[in-house]
C-alpha cells in the first residue's frame, strides 16, 4: 500500500488544496478537533492564529464544525491548567472571535492499556467526528523532532501521561558499566558524569530521551519503563487508532532548534520549506523528514542537533501500525 503525502510550497496553494481535499475526508456537520500546539508565551515560531484561522475556515467552508484543541502541559507554565492555557492562547490571538471556532483546552481523558503502560488519552479528539492534526515541525530535545506523531503522542494525552512518558524514558543503572563514556557523550543535556565505576545522573536535567540506554554497549543503563521513542509512538498509535477520521498538515516553516513548549526555542535551523499533507501522521512525518533533508542538505539534521534521530519514533510508530516508515511525496503546484 502506498502512503502518499503532498507537498505545497505556499499558503494559498495549501488552502486551495485543503478546500479540495477535506470534502473527501470529512463530512458536512462533522465536529472536527483541530489539534494544535498554540505555543508557549514568548515563543515566536509556533503556528500563529492568522494561519490557524485560514485552515479552520477551510473546514467550515466544507460544512464541518471545527474547534481548536490542545491539552494542558505538565511542566511549570501558564499552560499547565486549562484556564491558564486559554488565557495565554487568547493573548496570542487564539480566541473564538479571531479563529472563527471555539478554542478548547481540556485534560479530560480515558485510560487505555498499552504494551508498556496505561495511557490516559485525551477524550475530545476521540469523541469528535474527526481530527485535523495541524503540526509545526521543529526540533525536540527528547525525540529529535516534533511533528504529527509528537502532536498526538504527547499532545493528545492527559498531563499525567505526558509526565509518565518522560519519566518512563529516564535512566536506571543496572550494573556492569565499563566506563566507556558513550552515555556521557550522547546525553543532550550534560546530565551524566562517570564517578567511580559507574555513571551518575542528575547533573543538569533529564527529559527522558533514553539516549544513554540506547548507546550503552553493556546494557548497563535501562529506561525506567521503555525507550522514550517507544512510549511516545505507542501513545500516538493508540490515540490515532481511536480517531474516527483524520488528516495531517505539517507546517515546515520557522523550523526552530527547540519545540514550541519553550519561549526561547531558537535559532532557526533550516530554511522554510512549506507544507506536507497526508492522511496519517506517519506519512506526514516521514515525508517531512525527507523534505527537510533535501532542503537543509543534511541527511538527519535533528540527529545532529539533538543526538537523537526522529526516525526512531517514526519507525516505532510505523512498526506498531504494521507498516513501513516511508511516504510517496507528490508536489502540488
Ligand atoms: S541521555 Fe537522555 S535519558 Fe539519559 S540522562 Fe541524558 S537526558 Fe536523561
Ligand atoms: S555507556 Fe554504559 S558502559 Fe559506557 S560509561 Fe555509560 S553506563 Fe558505562
Reduce the DSSP state of residue 223 to 3 states and report it. Answer: strand
Ligand 2 pocket mutation, candidates 172, 186, 200, 216, criterion most atoms within 8 A of CB:
216
**Residue 1 in this model has a pLDDT that exceeds 70:** no
Q: Note whether 14 and 94 are same-domain residues.
A: yes
DSSP string, 222-274: EESSS-HHHHHHHHHHHHHTT-SSEEEEEEESSEESS-TTSS----EEE---E
Residues 113-164: tens digit of each pLDDT: 999 999 999 999 999 999 999 999 999 999 999 999 999 999 999 999 999 9
Burial of 268 (0-12, 13-18, 19+ CB in 10 A): middle
CATH number at residue 206: 3.30.70.20
Q: Note whether 195 and 178 are same-domain residues.
A: yes
- Quote the pLDDT of residue 152: 98
For the chain, how many structural domains are there in total? 2
User: Ligand 1 centroid vs 209 CA: distance in angstroms?
Assistant: 5
* pLDDT band of 165, cuts 50, 70, 90: very high
Q: Note whether 88 and 208 are same-domain residues.
A: no
* pLDDT band of 287, cuts 50, 70, 90: very high
Q: Note whether 148 and 28 are same-domain residues.
A: yes
Structural domain boundaries, residue 205:
170-223
Q: Note whether 326 and 281 are same-domain residues.
A: yes
Q: Note whether 126 and 263 are same-domain residues.
A: yes
Q: Note whether 153 and 268 are same-domain residues.
A: yes
Q: Note whether 200 and 159 are same-domain residues.
A: no
Residue where a domain terminates, one of 223, 238, 263: 223
Once rounded to an integer, what is the mean pLDDT over residues 297-306? 96
Q: Note whether 21 and 98 are same-domain residues.
A: yes
Ligand 1 pocket mutation, candidates 188, 205, 306, criterion most atoms within 8 A of CB:
188
Q: Which residue, 160, 167, 133, 187, is CA-closest to 317?
A: 133
**Residue 65 in this model has a pLDDT that exceeds 90:** yes
Tell me if the pTM is above 0.95.
yes
Q: Note whether 277 and 200 are same-domain residues.
A: no
Q: Note whether 69 and 185 are same-domain residues.
A: no
Q: Note whether 122 and 46 are same-domain residues.
A: yes
Amino acid at each position: 500500500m502506498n502512503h502518499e503525502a503532498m507537498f505545497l510550497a505556499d499558503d494559498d496553494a495549501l488552502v486551495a488544496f485543503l478546500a479540495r481535499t477535506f470534502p473527501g475526508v470529512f463530512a458536512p456537520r462533522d465536529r472536527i478537533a483541530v489539534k494544535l500546539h498554540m505555543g508557549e508565551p514568548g515563543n515566536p515560531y509556533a503556528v500563529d492564529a492568522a494561519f490557524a484561522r485560514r485552515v479552520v475556515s477551510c473546514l467550515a467552508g466544507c460544512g464541518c464544525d471545527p474547534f481548536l484543541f490542545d491539552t494542558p502541559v505538565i511542566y511549570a507554565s501558564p499552560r499547565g491548567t486549562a484556564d491558564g492555557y486559554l488565557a495565554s492562547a487568547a493573548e496570542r490571538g487564539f480566541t473564538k472571535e479571531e479563529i472563527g471556532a471555539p478554542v478548547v483546552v481540556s485534560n479530560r481523558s480515558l485510560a487505555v492499556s498499552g504494551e508498556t503502560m496505561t495511557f490516559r488519552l485525551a477524550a475530545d479528539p476521540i469523541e469528535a467526528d474527526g481530527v485535523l492534526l495541524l503540526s509545526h515541525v521543529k526540533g525536540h530535545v527528547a525525540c529529535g523532532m516534533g511533528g504529527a506523531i509528537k502532536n498526538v503522542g504527547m499532545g493528545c494525552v492527559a498531563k499525567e501521561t505526558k509526565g509518565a512518558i518522560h519519566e518512563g524514558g529516564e535512566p536506571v543503572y543496572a550494573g556492569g558499566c565499563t566506563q566507556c563514556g558513550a552515555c556521557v557523550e550522547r546525553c543532550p543535556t550534560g546530565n551524566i558524569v562517570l564517578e567511580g565505576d559507574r555513571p551518575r545522573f542528575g547533573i543538569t536535567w533529564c527529559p527522558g530521551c533514553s539516549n544513554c540506554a540506547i548507546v550503552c554497549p553493556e546494557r548497563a543503563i535501562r529506561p525506567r519503563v521503555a525507550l522514550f521513542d517507544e512510549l511516545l509512538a505507542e501513545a500516538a498509535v493508540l490515540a490515532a487508532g481511536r480517531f474516527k477520521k483524520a488528516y495531517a498538515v505539517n507546517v515546515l516553516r520557522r523550523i526552530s532548534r527547540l519545540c514550541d513548549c519553550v519561549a526561547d526555542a531558537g535559532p532557526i535551523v533550516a530554511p522554510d520549506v512549506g507544507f506536507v499533507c497526508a492522511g496519517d501522521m506517519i506519512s506526514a512525518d516521514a515525508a517531512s523528514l525527507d523534505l527537510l533533508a533535501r532542503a537543509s542538505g543534511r541527511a538527519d539534521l535533528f540527529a545532529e542537533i539533538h543526538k537523537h534521530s526522529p526516525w526512531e519514533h517514526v519507525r516505532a510508530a510505523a512498526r506498531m501500525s504494521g507498516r513501513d516508515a516511508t511516504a510517496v511525496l507528490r508536489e502540488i503546484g
